[in-house]
Structure 1
Amino acid sequence: MNAKHPALARLDVLIGRWIVQPKVEGVGTAWTEFSWQDNGLFLRQESDADPMPSTAPQDWRANAPFPNTSIIGLDDTGDEFTMLYTDARGVHRVYRMAFADDVWTTWRNAPGFNQRFTGTLSPDGDTVDGRWESSADGTTWDLDFELTYSRDRN
């Protein structure tokens, strides 16, 4: 195989296991792990969490973390990625993604349920501070939640 495409190589910083902490009172940690698939042609992301504690807000328990998998690939005509997402609820979604200048963005424009994520990688590469937002009309955005990814060094 040839060398990894330069746009894909920018994602090397995500490789490994991360602890994910939503900034929601009563909600515990989750984990996500990034690994190269098919000799670096695709990036695979797997995530899961422990069940929500009974002290978590009701809307978070109803939408408790669940196993999910994403496959991220590149259209080499640009620097933008496509992310195919699926989870244990049977949800299947297609997102667009970019990673440049230590800013990770993911977005989905879908009728009635637009989503976007923006995360900033720390200078040491061990933390991503991010936020998920949603919009019914694609114009007015509401914060869903903030979260922090911390590299798991264990």
Structure 2
Amino acid sequence: MSVITAERALKEFEPLIGQWRLEAIPPGGEPWPGQAWADIEWHDSGAHVIERSTVEMPEAPNGVSIMGCDAANGTYYRLHSDDRGVCRVYEMSLGGGEWRLWREGLPFPQRFVARFEDEGNTIAGQWEKSEDGTHFETDFELIYRKIT
């Protein structure tokens, strides 16, 4: 049995680190107006990653997420909060050119599936939601484009 070290588990976060311009597109619609950014950086501890997002659109919230892992079993998590007072916990996976987030169970099952493209300079994905926890539909596409 191979042991997963914290150092090895945390290396999976490297493709996320940077400043990103965000673009959100509803199903069949035009990109949301205004600018949006995300800064994803290592926490001072070196054991967590922090994402801070800013959106210049009143209907969309600014948010903060803390990502980390349980190195003993290789499980990744993302703790999210935003301006609306929303606080959510997502399970997460990174690797093989994909980034996935998900939360199961009512009242709000949700998932995000994204691929790293353009040599890691673009993360193209979509958020999906479900009313019943079984049938998912696209909520919106979300594209990260690396600035630095």
Please classify the TM superposition score into its range, dividing by the shorter chain length.
0.7 to 0.9
**Could you tell me the TM-score, scaled by structure 1's length?**
0.84
Query: Structure 1 vs Structure 2: percent identity of aligned residues?
Result: 34
> What CA distance in whole angstroms lies between the structure 1 residues aligned with 2:130 and 2:121?
30
1:123 shift after superposition:
4.8
Matched with 2:45 is 39
Greater relative contact order, per chain length (Cα 8 Å cut-off, separation 6+): 2
Matched with 2:83 is 88
Matched with 2:98 is 103
> What CA distance in whole angstroms lies between the structure 2 residues aligned with 1:102 and 1:78?
21
Question: Given that residues 25 and 31 in structure 2 are in contact (C-alpha distance below 8 angstroms), is that contact kept between their aligned partners in structure 1?
Answer: no
Kindly provide the CA deviation profile for residues 44-66 of structure 1, in whole angstroms up to 9, marking residues without a partner as x. 010011125xxxxxxxxxxx222
Matched with 2:54 is 48
> What CA distance in whole angstroms lies between the structure 2 residues aligned with 1:51 and 1:133?
21
User: What SS is found at the alignment partner of 2:143?
Assistant: strand
Greater Cα shift, 90-99 or 24-33: 24-33
User: What SS is found at the alignment partner of 2:53?
Assistant: strand
Change (3 A) 1:26 1:98: closer
In the alignment, residue 27 of structure 1 is paired with which amino acid? W
Matched with 1:115 is 110
Kindly provide the CA deviation profile for residues 60-111 of structure 1, in whole angstroms up to 9, marking residues without a partner as x. xxxx222210111111122221111111111111111110101000001131
Deviation >4 Å, runs of 4+: none
In the alignment, residue 41 of structure 1 is paired with which amino acid? A
**Could you tell me the TM-score, scaled by structure 2's length?**
0.87
Matched with 1:125 is 120
In the alignment, residue 137 of structure 2 is paired with which amino acid? D
User: What SS is found at the alignment partner of 1:39?
Assistant: coil
Question: Given that residues 112 and 135 in structure 1 are in contact (C-alpha distance below 8 angstroms), is that contact kept between their aligned partners in structure 2?
Answer: no
Greater Cα shift, 4-13 or 90-99: 4-13
Number of aligned residue pairs: give it.
Answer: 140
> What CA distance in whole angstroms lies between the structure 2 residues aligned with 1:123 and 1:78?
31
Matched with 2:16 is 14
> What CA distance in whole angstroms lies between the structure 1 residues aligned with 2:61 and 2:107?
23
Q: What runs of 5+ residues in structure 1 fail to find an aligned partner? A: 53-63
In the alignment, residue 131 of structure 1 is paired with which amino acid? Q
1:4 shift after superposition:
5.6
